[in-house]
Amino acid sequence: MNDLPTQPVSAARRARVVQEQAELVATTRVGAYQHLTLSSPGVAGLARPGQFVALAVGDESSGTLLRRSFSIHKVTPGPSSDGAGGTVEIVVSAVGAGTRWITSRQVHDRIDVVGPVGRAFPLPTAPVPCVLVGGGYGSAPLFWLAGELRERGCTVDIVLGAASEDRLFGVLEARRSCDGVTVTTDDGSAGVQGWVSDVLPDVIDRRGAGVVYACGPMGMLRAVSDVAAAHGAVAQVAVEEAMACGIGICMTCVMPVVGSDGLTRMVRSCVEGPVFRGDRVRWDAVTATGAVVPPDAVGAPRAVTR
> Annotated binding residues, as ranges?
68-71, 98-99, 245, 250, 253, 270
What sections of the chain are H helices per DSSP? 11-14, 41-44, 97-103, 142-151, 171-177, 196-207, 218-230
> Annotated binding residues for [2Fe-2S] cluster, as ranges?
245, 250, 253, 270
- Give 217's strand partners: none
> Annotated binding residues for FAD, as ranges?
68-71, 98-99
**What is the C-alpha to C-alpha distance for residues 29 and 36, in angstroms, rounded to an integer?**
9
What is the DSSP-derived secondary structure letter of residue 201? H
**What is the C-alpha to C-alpha distance for residues 279 and 104, in angstroms, rounded to an integer?**
39
**Backbone dihedral angles phi then psi of residue 253, each to the nearest 5 degrees:** -105, 20
CA dihedral angle for residue 120, residue 121, residue 126, residue 132, rounded to 10 degrees: -150
